[in-house]
Amino acid sequence: MIGAVTTDLALVAVGAAIPARILTNEEISQRVETDDAWIRERTGIGERRIATAEESVTTLAIQAARQAVERGDIAPGSIDLVVAATASPERSFPSIAALVADDIGAHSAGAVDMLAACAGFAYALSYAVGQIAAGFAETVLVIGTETLSRITDWDDRGTCILFGDGAGAVIIKAGAAPDQELVVVELGADGSKGDDLRGDLTDRDGSGVDRNIRMNGSAVYRFATQVIVDSATRVLEAGQRTHSDIDLFVPHQANLRIIESGVKRLGFPPERVLITLDQYGNTSSASIPLCLDHAWRTGRLQPGQRLLMMGLGGGLAWGTCLIRWMGRGA
């Protein structure tokens, strides 16, 4: 599906939780047959963060949410809805979102978690856009949070080099932009390719529960290189924009080669593309807000900028959003 709505909603704040523990490529190469040069050349990843035993998808989400609320000077009681996306849930309920809402004092908010793997943040954001555009909500907290290290097979060199932990959160508000313009969302999924990237929660075929991420890397790679171009093109068209109207492109942070080929075909100059996978690896649903947080801290995120953001992966699903940033500078 693809939709465009004329609205004055915008992103107004971002926060992050970045675990302190750094896992380098060298450390991984002590466990599986790989090396730093291969990982950098084939993926662009230099290191990733790993949650400690005390950290969880919930504690990271709370940390990121607290920071977004503080940076945006948001009254927690004014938050109408909390949406948390994750590909590495610890439990079915209570939701991460409900625990975050309680912690930050968003006592009149609805709260729900979303499972759409690496597209989760884009799906959560699109839900927030829809609720605001329909007039059901004015202020929404959207979170992407992951402890992928806990569902990684550390003996599988095809996947263990890729993933990292972390969380990011944004606040999206009605009436934040000075004028109305098109906000665009595309959501897609191709379940026929679902087994190319999966993580089970239960014993689905009677052979024991394998919660670890299982991926057909080259199949997902082909899907990603195509979708990044096709989805971005459709969203720009629906928003009546070209690549030169986009101030910052935030592609899914899975593999630098996928990003570079997509960016080249779409025509974005490299200085308008956000990249953090060299530092954080693939953090699935946390990728987009972690990029925004990095851009905010380094002064690249400025009020009025148009952002084109994309997440893609397990499902195989994808989500792309064209939306404005109206938050304060760092």
Q: Which residues are catalytic?
A: 118, 252, 282
Distance CA 18, CA 164 (A): 10
Q: How far is the CB of 139 from ligand UT7 (least distance, A)?
A: 30
Pick 29 or 302: Cβ nearer ligand UT7? 29
Q: How far is the CB of 71 from ligand UT7 (least distance, A)?
A: 27
Q: How far is the CB of 117 from ligand UT7 (least distance, A)?
A: 7
Q: How far is the CB of 306 from ligand UT7 (least distance, A)?
A: 24
Q: How far is the CB of 325 from ligand UT7 (least distance, A)?
A: 24
**Burial, 265: exposed, middle or buried (Cβ in 10 Å; 0-12, 13-18, 19+)?**
middle
Pick 100 or 310: Cβ nearer ligand UT7? 310
Pick 3 or 158: Cβ nearer ligand UT7? 158
Q: How far is the CB of 84 from ligand UT7 (least distance, A)?
A: 18
Q: State residue 29 phi and psi, 5-degree precision.
A: -70, -10
H helix intervals, the chain: 25-29, 36-43, 57-71, 96-104, 120-133, 217-238, 256-266, 277-280, 287-297
Pick 115 or 238: Cβ nearer ligand UT7? 115
Q: Nearest-CA neighbor of 100 among 118, 119, 81, 117?
A: 81
Q: Nearest-CA neighbor of 33 among 166, 160, 169?
A: 160
Cα-based torsion angle of the residue sequence 224, 117, 246, 15 in order, rounded to the nearest 10 degrees = -140
Q: How far is the CB of 324 from ligand UT7 (least distance, A)?
A: 26
Three-state secondary structure readout of 221-270: HHHHHHHHHHHHHHHHHHCCCCHHHCCEEECCCCCHHHHHHHHHHHCCCH
Q: Give me the residues that bind ligand UT7 (CB under 6 A), please.
A: 34, 38, 42-43, 118, 157-158, 161, 217-218, 220-221, 224, 254-255, 258, 282, 313
Distance CA 82, CA 98 (A): 7
The three-state secondary structure class of 310 is strand
And the tokens for 89?
Answer: 């849930």
Pick 38 or 103: Cβ nearer ligand UT7? 38
Contact indicator for 312, 226 with CB cutoff of 8 Å: no
Distance (Å) of CA 279 to CA 16, 19, 48, 86, 120:
14, 12, 6, 20, 21
Contact indicator for 193, 226 with CB cutoff of 8 Å: no
Pick 71 or 252: Cβ nearer ligand UT7? 252
Distance CA 97, CA 81 (A): 9
Pick 226 or 244: Cβ nearer ligand UT7? 226
Distance CA 182, CA 228 (A): 21
